[in-house]
Amino acid sequence: MLTRFLARFRPSWLPPFQTNPLPITNQTMNPQCQSPPLPPQPQDQPLEIAIIGCGIIGAILALGLLSKNIKVTVYEQSRTLRETGAGIAFTANARKCMAMIDPRIVDCVAAVATTNGDPGNPNNNMQFIDGYTHRPDEADDMSWKKLYELSTGPKGFEGCHRGHFLEEVMGLIPDGVVKWGKRLERVEEFGVGRVLLRFSDGSVGRADAVIGCDGIKSRVRELVLGEGNPASYPHYTHKLAYRGLVPMEKATARLGHYRAHNQHMYGGPNAHVLHFQVAKQTLMNVVAFVTDPGDWPLDQNMSQPATKDEVAGAFAEWGPTVRAIIDLLPVELEKWAVFDSLEYPAPTYSRGRVCIAGDAAHASAPHHGAGAGVGVEDALALTFLLDMVQSGNKRRGQTRFSLQEAFAAFSTVRRKRSQWLVRSSREACEIYEWNDPQCGSDMDKGYEEIKRRSHKIWHFDIDGMLKQLEQEYKTHLRL
């Protein structure tokens, strides 16, 4: 099964799938208010999967399932394409997963990615340096400091804009697959082996199973874990990320060509600064992380307007290079509250024929820059498992109830690695900000620890994951 899957990279496309809305207003679980009966389904009819959320992971998963002749409808609560945040980067490991899902996704990355450093001789390193220590009245505090370079491999650090990448991916999805303006309210059992989705606008949808890719504030996670469960919601990490874009000409004039055109991370006490180039090296993306002892209610928008003065105050005692980077920021910018799921991790990623993936399952802080990449691994895992389900139904006449076994296998296999990422992302922030009890302000120790953790992310055994998924799925079927 695994060999056959790895060989079938080239997708075969379906015509657009249209959902026929049902005039249902009562819950099917109420015996006095039954929905219309479900017509008999042929055993070899393609699976129908509903994906909630049309962000990066939802869109990539849709392409993967469509390539396996699985019918897909994606329900997105916004009315137009929208991806928040500025920069994102995919490692070679994530791009390998994309190629196994649909090779054209890798082309989407290439279309919008920005080379780190000289395009003719790319710099494939993540670079770390002390941004805090400096001498009084020093104009250049970098010339005498050690620069730590962590090799990511060929094209291992190419940044792009999230929205630009998602636009490229969406261009591959056939018309009619995505339904806009659909906010999910609940999911109900419907007929034999089917689920009914109810939306806030009164419309409904039907499917064999539901996969929630609806991000950090996931409604599907609430339905899987329970609305009163604290694990159903993300929690504030007491970190703020100030983000701004600087014209490259301005950045180069202030910082020099090498510094402006190459990614750098500046560590220091209780804060750190990252910058890398985007938009084909026409812009330098700056992210400044600071500690916030206050609270941030979940119902408050995670992005709020901010000013450069707020950031400048947090870095007033830092070295002149970091202060110059902060000074380059626009007067008005945005600050993002960093939430994750560390304190209350999801004990499972599935319940029956409902499953969660990506940030909906394991929202992490951005300090490893790997949340989206691990979400792409999820998309590959689900594509692989649901292809097995559909092939098994055709071959053995199994019912669609095997979907819950596939989702259970996904939860079992994917949970350990993805929850490790959530914890390690928090701990990486402590290393960058000199709060780790083992590393402190020792940049040598911090570099070695970040390298160890990064290699665990970058050098993941993808084929081994697929073998484990196949074994776990077959084990669940036998139970």
Q: Give me 419's structure tokens.
A: 């929850």
- Give the span between the Cα atoms of 2 and 201, in whole angstroms: 42
Instruction: Collapse the DSSP code of 54 into the 3-class scheme (helix H, G, I; strand E, B; otherwise coil) and give the result.
Output: coil
- Give the span between the Cα atoms of 62 and 446, in whole angstroms: 39
- Give the span between the Cα atoms of 229 and 415, in whole angstroms: 18
Select which of 104, 194, 206, 243 is catalytic.
243
**DSSP output for 355-414:** EE-THHHH---GGGS-HHHHHHHHHHHHHHHHHHHHHHHHHH---TTHHHHHHHHHHHHH
Sheet harboring 350-351: ordered strands across?
178-180, 71-76, 48-52, 209-212, 354-356, 350-351
Q: Give me 406's structure tokens.
A: 């596939």
Q: Which residues pair with 351 in a beta bridge?
A: 354
Do residues 245 and 286 make contact, with C-beta atoms less than 8 angstroms apart?
A: yes
Q: Give me 15's structure tokens.
A: 């015509």
- Give the span between the Cα atoms of 120 and 49, in whole angstroms: 44
Strand intervals (E) in 131-225: 148-151, 159-161, 178-180, 184-190, 194-199, 204-207, 209-212
Q: Which residues pair with 189 in a beta bridge?
A: 195
Q: Which residues pair with 194 in a beta bridge?
A: 190
Residue 243 designated active-site: yes
Report which of 462, 466, 432, 465 is spatially closest to residue 449, judged by C-alpha positions. 432
Active site residues: 243
